[in-house]
Amino acid sequence: MKSEMKRVYGITLISAIVMIVISFGINYFSNEKEQVKTINVGFIYVGDASDAYTANFLKAQSAIEKQYAGQVNIIPKYNVPEDDVEDVLEELMEEKCDLIFATSYGYGEKMKEYAAIYPEIQFCQATCSNANEKPYLSNYHTFMGNIYQGRYISGVVAGMKMKELIDNGTITTEQAKVGYVGAFPYAEVISGYTSFFLGIRSVVPEATMTVKYTNTWSNYHIEKECAKELIDEGCVIISQHSDTSGPAVACEETDRSKIVYYVSYNESMRDVAPTTYLTGSKINWTPYMTNAVEAVLLDKEIEQNIKGNVNGNDVGAGFDYGWVQMLDINEFVAAKGTQERVNKLIHEFQQDKIQVFQGEYIGVNPNDESDTIDLRDGYPENKNSSAPSFYYILKDVITIE
């Protein structure tokens, strides 16, 4: 009898202990769930989903929303003029943001000013180069992909098409003219069209290029008109560093008696220009932005949580970490063997085997003709900054109109 009572008592005791453990576990994990850190993340956009540049950032925003669902409250601000960002920053302060991403170069000055005022908030500025300039602020960061790599490969694709035209007698080497629609004479734009042109010249050494500036990032009519003028001047390849489909439409609408092909930036234009579009490239903002959010959630330093070329509070990367991507190749238009060549070049960039800014060229500073550079020695773009820094115009082969 006593043995039976001991057995019952033992079972009862074990059951009680199990219930206590289960109850503790439920309460523990319930409390843990309640204690999950949440943050407010602001996004300042110069455009909206209708322009390709902003659309690429919105893809990163969507990735953040998906990856950190329940932990992040997104506060986006669209169509913010670069000279009117202060009011939007004030709004984000009132909405108690913990992290703010700004997506256009012109926001950089005000972003850094606010970072100095609000040291508890992390400010991440795309395309700028002022994070490592005095005053140095631990909560102000800059980032950008090494897009010159993608532009160079885009240039090789264009060069292969141009060589095909030369080889089949459609054009002569004297007609190997490239037209480029650029927004502003900034280093970012100059570096971009120079690397694109050097890609073309690696295939067609006789090629020359003419650049027209629109002095605006996003004006469909001006961009289209500039492209049309370049086509009328005999350019058989058109590309751009601007935000609308204007140049693509200009190429597609060109009379078929004229030969012209188009290379895009930020998004494929195959649907817009199915008979003239070749390829393009873009920056993938997701690797940096998702990991910056993770860093803030984990109370880590942002640069310690990013895979890339870290230089102080600035980070950049190219094909090596997936920060730069090629857009689709229009196989019906591109030269034979293009995809294989692109794959090979991407691999070489990943292995750090390509020096783009190098050759028998003299570059001239457009603001100071006494400042020149001999590219026989090479220029290591993005070595010390994620933002492009090459700002020289290649003498005798690139013309600015």
R_g (Cα) of the chain, nearest Å: 27
* 133 shares a domain with 80: yes
Examine the fold and report which residue of 319, 344, 372 is the final residue of a domain before the chain moves on: 319
Helical segments of 68-107, H only: 85-94
* 174 shares a domain with 126: no
Strand pairing report for 72-77 and 39-44: parallel
* 156 shares a domain with 124: no
User: So what's the pLDDT on residue 197?
Assistant: 98
Residue 262 token pair = 């188009």
Rounded to whole angstroms, the Cα distance separating 279 from 349 reads: 18
The H or E element spanning position 213 is strand 208-213
Rounded to whole angstroms, the Cα distance separating 125 from 315 reads: 11
What is the domain range of residue 223?
A: 148-283+323-400
Give, for all 401 residues of the chain, the pLDDT tens digit: 444 544 545 555 455 444 544 555 545 444 444 457 899 999 999 999 998 999 999 999 999 999 999 999 999 999 999 999 999 999 999 999 999 999 999 999 999 999 999 999 999 999 999 999 999 999 999 999 999 999 999 999 999 999 999 999 999 999 999 999 999 999 999 999 999 999 999 999 999 999 999 999 989 999 999 999 999 999 999 999 999 999 999 999 999 899 999 999 999 999 999 999 999 999 999 999 999 999 999 999 999 999 999 999 999 999 999 999 999 999 999 999 999 999 999 999 999 999 999 999 999 999 999 999 999 999 999 999 999 999 999 999 999 99
* 229 shares a domain with 363: yes
CATH number reported for the structural domain that contains residue 105 in this entry: 3.40.50.2300
Task: Of 187, 286, 217, 227, give the one whose Cα is nearest residue 51.
Answer: 217
User: So what's the pLDDT on residue 8?
Assistant: 44
* 140 shares a domain with 99: yes
* 222 shares a domain with 95: no
Residue 156 lies in a domain: yes
Cβ 149 vs Cβ 350: under 8 Å: no
How many other C-beta atoms lie within 10 A of the C-beta of residue 340?
A: 9
Residue 176 token pair = 């190997």
* 296 shares a domain with 168: no
Residues sharing a CB contact under 8 Å with residue 80, sequence separation 6 or more, in sequence order:
44, 45, 46, 88, 107
Domains in the chain: how many in total? 2
